Structure 1
């Protein structure tokens, strides 16, 4: 996100206050907002800035399978998710890379698979009411020969990632049973079903 707050005809940022700059950055914005009826309101909202990210569906047509990761997620844990372990597609922040380069890096770090031909799928805001993050979604085919390492992430960054190969039909069933509850993962699995990347389509 740029350091200079944007303004438009209907929105004017008046003040920005940094509330926390620890793990990521939490800011409080005070702004004037012109409503649809022409009246103006002065509002305050907080936005969590963690940078933009990318996620990828790694799929194998021949085996009708995909690669997922399992790792502990504190926010999900404190919000009632049993042991806090989430099944997810590989994902991560862009840092200073372009989205395609970033997701190749993250896929290899997390899963050990080195992917080259990544296909952009769509770009979306995952929680626009409170988080600035824009997420770039990708898909790529993988083969067993593409695995160049064990994956697992960086222990020094607190990552402890289990790599799991799941059949597509089972992945769909796991969504139905509430065992896959991560939105980016659900979106990419449903994308694979709609586009016929996997399954019987």
Structure 2
């Protein structure tokens, strides 16, 4: 009978390297390989909690709402740092549905009641513990209750962008939208619409 994963992992030592913005740990462990040999390994994990993201979509006009904001990690990796993204935020003890509704209003100014969860995904499982909950939500002009732009005290300076879904997909193809979660949501929506019209 095959072992479950928990039976193949022995934690030897865990060391906290940083506990400032989020928590960075170094873990030494033994893993029972498929050849039945225990191998000692060491890995760093970055724990920032889980998050939620959503794509706002107006089915009548086939438009989406995205944001543009500065991201330092992208900047130091050679990008200009101004990423176009689907709104997102960490859960901070809220349910994914509660968090993403609040985040949509803070970042875009749109208030939505119903959000549809479409999938969950680990975005960088080699080093980051975060799991993202992905949603799609419908909006229209009546949903706009504020300017959006994020929370200045949290360092947010967010531009709200509304554009046709077709244009957003073309921006992915041209490398103008390079954020992973956003690409996943746009492609999910495009596949869904294609399937519905087939």
Q: Deviations over 1:129-153 (max 9, x none)?
A: 0100000000010011111111111
State the match for 1:66 in structure 2.
Answer: 64
Q: Does the residue aligned with 2:168 lie in a helix, a strand or coil?
A: helix
State the match for 1:196 in structure 2.
Answer: 193
State the match for 1:155 in structure 2.
Answer: 152
Structure 2 matches for 1:92-171, cutoff 5 A?
Answer: 92-171=89-168
> What are structure 2's unaligned runs of at least 5 residues?
none
* TM-score normalised by length of structure 2: 0.95
State the match for 1:179 in structure 2.
Answer: 176
Q: In the aligned structure 1, how far is the partner of 2:24 from the partner of 2:197? A: 45
State the match for 1:37 in structure 2.
Answer: 35
- Flag the 1:78–1:56 CA change in 2: closer, same or farther, 3 A: same
CA RMSD of aligned residues (A): 1.6
State the match for 2:47 in structure 1.
Answer: 49
Q: Does the residue aligned with 2:104 lie in a helix, a strand or coil?
A: helix
Q: Are 1:20 and 2:18 matched, yes or no?
A: yes
Point out 4+ residue stretches in structure 1 off by more than 3 angstroms: 197-201
Give 1:197 deviation, angstroms.
Answer: 7.8
- The structure carrying a bigger helix percent of its residues is 2
- Flag the 1:199–1:161 CA change in 2: closer, same or farther, 3 A: farther
Give 1:62 deviation, angstroms.
Answer: 1.1
State the match for 1:80 in structure 2.
Answer: 78
* TM-score normalised by length of structure 1: 0.93
Q: In the aligned structure 1, how far is the partner of 2:130 from the partner of 2:144? A: 29
Q: Does the residue aligned with 2:178 lie in a helix, a strand or coil?
A: coil
